[in-house]
Amino acid sequence: MKCPFCGADETSVSDTRLNDDGDSVRRRRRCLRCDKRFTTYERAELHLPQVIKKNGSRVDFDREKLAASLWLALRKRPVNVVAVEGAIAHIEEKLLALGEREVASEQIGEMVMNELRKLDKVAYVRFASVYRSFEDVDEFSKVIREVSRASRSVGR
């Protein structure tokens, strides 16, 4: 590991710890040339599937695009960053668990809606209205009734 301060190739590891989830390792390092300390993180490199878009084209899965979609739906909603990061991680875990090389964008959209339903009902309706391209008010009302019914049944 190169030192980020002086570029030296030789560093030593002074401390190694697993994170709480056990999916990454935190290493505290010291440069043998300039004696400065820095932290590195190590995690398994996993390949997420390619996304098949509605037009048939294929693109690499983009975590930032997924996060931007969630944050757009959650704009001005009282949901904390940790919960959103957890939702993103959950979607990525589901995609990896599928074990597929390709996945349809519609399938990812459904995963996003499931996560938003758990995080915030208003954000869920926002996302669903765009994602499902509602043609009229009746379709929109139907989704609101579903969310409303689900909220009442959970509250009992």
Residues 2-43: pLDDT tens digits? 999 999 999 999 999 998 777 789 999 999 999 999 999 887
Span 111-139, average pLDDT: 83
Provide CB contacts within 8 A for 94, sequence distance 6+.
Answer: 111
Write down the pTM of the prediction. 0.61
Q: What is the DSSP letter of 21?
A: T
What is the number of domains present in the chain? 2
Residue 1 in domain? no
Q: Are residues 28 and 58 in the same domain?
A: no
Q: What is the DSSP string of 47-58?
A: PPPEEE-TTS-E
Residue 3 in domain? no
Q: Are residues 120 and 139 in the same domain?
A: yes
The whole-number pLDDT of residue 44 equals: 75
Q: Are residues 33 and 72 in the same domain?
A: no
Q: Are residues 148 and 112 in the same domain?
A: yes
Q: Are residues 138 and 68 in the same domain?
A: yes
Which residues constitute the domain of residue 69? 50-155
Q: Are residues 59 and 87 in the same domain?
A: yes
Phi, psi of 8 (to 5 degrees): -65, 145
Q: Are residues 36 and 56 in the same domain?
A: no
Which is it for strands 58-59 and 50-52: parallel, antiparallel or unpaired?
antiparallel
The whole-number pLDDT of residue 17 equals: 93
Per-residue pLDDT band for 131 (boundaries 50, 70, 90) equals confident
Q: Are residues 108 and 72 in the same domain?
A: yes
Taking the C-alpha atoms of residue 7 and residue 74, their distance in angstroms, rounded to an integer, is 41
Q: Are residues 95 and 139 in the same domain?
A: yes
Tell which phi-psi region holds residue 62, choosing left (phi > 0), alpha (psi between -120 and 50) or beta. beta
Residue type, 51: V
